[in-house]
Amino acid sequence: MKKKVLVTRAMFDETLAYLAQHFDITSNQADEKYPPDELGARLQGMDAAVITSTDRVDEALLSRCPGLKAVCSASVGYNHVDVAACTRRGVMVTNTPGVLTDSVADYAVCLTLATCRRLTEAESMLRRGEWKGTHLKELLGMDLHHATVGIFGFGRIGQVIARRLTGFEPRILYCTRNRVARDIERDLKATFVGKDELLRQSDIVILILPYTRETHHFIGARELGLMKRKAVLINMARGGIVDDAALIEALKARRIWAAGLDVYENEPNLNPGLLAVANVVLSPHIASASEPTRQAMAMAAARNCVAALTTGNPPNLLNRDVLRQDA
């Protein structure tokens, strides 16, 4: 008898066809988010789930699904999964690192430019029919070229963002838990600094660090107060890393110049204060949303699922302690 897998959100046809070669598949092609109770009910009798970042997997859910062996997320971030609870219950957890690096780095540059050059403000003015012709002081923005750019988080994606920025000839500062190798610093012309120094010196601050208990509200009122008044904040990481309420107050008071956000606290529920300030560019968590990249993410999650239920050792396993439990 084939093992059973629940696919919790709409997936690409090729991904479903691949999974169907190995398992009995139940797929949510209607793409309606399952509330926690319904997700728990639908996972009854399932051996694995292919999920996305909108699905919360925690102790309460796992207690209802004793037969679950693997949770395979089509995402790099995994703060929506209680990995420790999964480990205690012998459930493998996987993610999809690597496949979205280039697309997210591309979008980081896109969002930075859109914010610095006030693109959404300009388009809105045009659509409202308010453009009366160009004059010297209209919609003045900030330059990316030759700016000091500070990057919080300097792993795979942070380093590629730095490389993408090379053509703008910036000064690159970075801050991360573990300093990178000196040859990487030389190659990217990047300088390691502390958190406060990065905030004080940077014209543009880009966040691409993971969301953890330690990074909750990593940027709050204190940090915003350290930034230059002409500084731009870009959040490419996760909602919760920035205290959105504090950011709104800083934007309203022009304590910083502008912000570009792709992620939010409590998303998809947006703090309404963000809609009331003009000096912020908003996008709905789409940094990885190119068609080839999202297809690659889905297939990586599917391959993890197949490996988990066949070999018991998927390539992107996050909780390797599970393997030691079975040893």
Spatial contact of 275 and 252, defined as CB atoms under 8 Å apart: no
Length in residues, the chain = 327
107 backbone dihedrals φ, ψ, rounded to 5°: -70, -30
Sheet bearing 171-175, strands edge to edge: 190-192, 171-175, 148-152, 204-207, 232-235, 258-261, 280-282
Catalytic annotation present for 145: no
DSSP state of 35: P
Q: Which of 238, 265, 294, 303 is catalytic?
A: 238
Collect all residues with Cβ–Cβ distance below 8 Å to 266 and sequence separation of at least 6: 239
Using DSSP's 3-state secondary structure scheme, residue 233 falls into strand
Helix crossing, 101-116 with 119-127: angle to 10°? 60
CB atoms within 10 A of CB 130: 8
Look up residue 40 and give its two tokens: 């728990």
Peptide bond into 268 cis (omega under 30): yes
Which segments within 32-147 are labelled E, that is strand?
48-51, 70-73, 92-94
Tokens of 81: 């999964």
Q: Is 118 a catalytic residue?
A: no
Distance CA 113, CA 115 (A): 5
From the candidates 121, 223, 265, 267, give the one annotated as an active-site residue. Answer: 267
Contact 23, 2 (CB under 8 A): yes
213 is catalytic: no
List, by residue number, the catalytic residues.
238, 267, 285
